[in-house]
Amino acid sequence: MTELDGRRGSRAGGAVRGVLGLVGGLVRLVTGLFAAVLVVHIVLVILGANPANGITQLVAALADALTLGLRDLFLLGNPTAQVIVSYGLPALLWLLVGAVVVGILRLLGRPRSGLA
């Protein structure tokens, strides 16, 4: 391998790492926003926001779409605890999924030592 080939490979590897880093940042942003919508919904419900308000309805509709089928997985007697569990578990799951995907992308983008 010539010196020029080594530099091309280094640049290509850097470009791949850059793209993977960008994708990882986007994944972190999106999953974080999904979790934030769920948390905002929890806060609005607990604080007694007007359910007829347009913002409250928008947040509720988005939150319902982001529950990953976990809404009402556990039926609790306390309405406040029900909202926290029904929307809090999916929020945590979104954060976990984001962290796992970003971790995988980091592993894929890690420079190879060439010793393997």
Give tens-digit pLDDT for 57-109. 999 999 999 998 888 888 888 999 999 999 999 999 999 999 999 999 888 87
Segment 29-55 shows an average pLDDT of 96
Which token pair is 18? Answer: 């850059």
Count of CA atoms in the C-beta half-sphere (13 A) of 87? 25
Q: Indicate the residue type of 86.
A: S
In a domain, 20, yes or no: yes
Q: CB of 28 within 8 A of CB of 102?
A: yes
In a domain, 1, yes or no: no
Counting the structural domains of the chain, the total is 1
Q: Indicate the residue type of 17.
A: R
**Domain ranges, residue 55:** 8-109
The whole-angstrom separation of Cα 80 and Cα 88 is 11
3-state class of 77 per DSSP?
A: coil
Greater pLDDT, 87 or 7:
87
